[in-house]
């Protein structure tokens, strides 16, 4: 089979990747799922034509989305992951032995099964015995969990698909209710170059709900514009610095996250800061 190119296009931007083979293509109840073997980036997962990850750089996104909120909390015991069916956040969270509860709520069971088959180095997160899988709409699941979790991580698709309710104000209010005192959230918060209106709206909503809010920038070259961010918030004095040191044995396993990166990620360029004002 000849090599071909696959393009993700959104809002005037695009990312084109050279593909050598289609490994899987199917339609779930919620979205189109495609897995490609690429020439330079390893395997690539797309949902409804949007790049979710490549084996080449997924570590940057998953490490930051996971370790920033977990280290912003002084003593996290209970974690909820909303979305994240590929298992990458679970893999990173599993590196924290202090966690006692590791729940994941994913709306699309087929994403989990496809990821287990084609992305074993990422979906290995499901091998952790602490993981409990809930196949449900995260915006509904969370309503019955008042005061239960220490950290909530939302690894959602872009708005417009099944992840749309996860960008609404009510969901952020429900997340706050689901947290124990001093809890922290981190949500996939888009790129300020690609979707500045959504970046600004999520910050505005978070500031109406939580005491402390920040936008942590992440460099991920295979996302259009090469950037994405996490909205990190909580009822804590500070989420921009780790609340505890990174153990040496964990630090040795990480390729992107460290204490300095944690702090530096919240130093936003002027044009991003102006979005929030």
Query: How many other CB atoms are there within 10 angstroms of residue 34's CB atom?
Result: 21
Tokens of 177: 């209710």
Strand order in the sheet with 101-106: 131-135, 101-106, 78-83, 149-155, 179-188, 227-234, 212-219
Q: Are 125 and 89 in contact (CB under 8 A)?
A: yes
- 4-54 classified as CATH 2.40.50.140: no
> Which CATH homologous superfamily contains domain 58-275?
Vaccinia Virus protein VP39 (3.40.50.150)
Dist. CA 219–CA 276, nearest whole Å: 20
Catalytic residue among 86, 108, 155, 158: 155
Dist. CA 103–CA 143, nearest whole Å: 15
User: How do the pLDDT tens digits run along the chain, 277 residues long?
Assistant: 589 999 999 899 999 999 999 999 999 999 999 999 999 999 999 999 999 999 999 999 999 999 999 999 999 999 999 999 999 999 999 999 999 999 999 999 999 999 999 999 999 999 999 999 999 999 999 999 999 999 999 999 888 788 888 999 999 999 999 999 999 999 999 999 999 999 999 999 999 999 999 999 999 999 999 999 999 999 999 999 999 999 999 999 999 999 999 999 999 999 999 999 8
Parse the chain into domains and list their residue ranges.
4-54, 58-275
- pTM confidence score: 0.97
According to DSSP, residue 17 is labeled E
238 in catalytic set? no
For 42, list phi and psi in degrees, rounded to 5: 70, -150
């Amino acid at each position: 089979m000849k090599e071909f190119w696959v393009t993700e296009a959104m809002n005037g931007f695009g990312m084109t990747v050279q593909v050598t083979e289609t490994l899987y293509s199917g339609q779930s109840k919620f979205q189109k799922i495609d897995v490609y073997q690429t020439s330079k980036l390893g395997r690539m997962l797309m949902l409804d034509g949007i790049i979710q990850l490549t084996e080449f750089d997924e570590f940057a996104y998953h490490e930051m989305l996971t370790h920033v909120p977990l280290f912003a909390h002084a003593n996290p015991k209970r974690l909820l992951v909303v979305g994240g069916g590929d298992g990458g956040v679970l893999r990173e969270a599993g590196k924290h032995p202090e966690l006692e509860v590791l729940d994941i709520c994913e709306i699309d069971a087929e994403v989990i099964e496809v990821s287990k088959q084609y992305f074993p180095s990422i979906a290995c997160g499901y091998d952790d015995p602490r993981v409990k899988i809930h196949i449900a709409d995260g915006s509904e699941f969370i309503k019955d969990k008042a005061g239960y979790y220490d950290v909530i991580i939302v690894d959602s698709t872009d708005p417009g698909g099944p992840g749309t309710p996860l960008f609404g104000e009510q969901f952020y209010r429900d997340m706050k209710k689901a947290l124990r005192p001093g809890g922290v959230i981190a949500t996939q918060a888009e790129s300020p170059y690609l979707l500045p209106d959504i970046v600004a709206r999520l910050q505005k909503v978070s500031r109406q709900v939580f005491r402390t809010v920040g936008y942590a920038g992440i460099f991920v070259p295979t996302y259009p514009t090469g950037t994405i961010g996490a909205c990190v918030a909580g009822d804590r004095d500070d989420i921009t610095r780790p609340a505890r040191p990174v153990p040496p044995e964990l630090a040795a396993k990480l390729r992107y996250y460290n204490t300095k990166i944690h702090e530096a990620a919240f130093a936003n360029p002027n044009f991003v800061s102006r979005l929030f004002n």
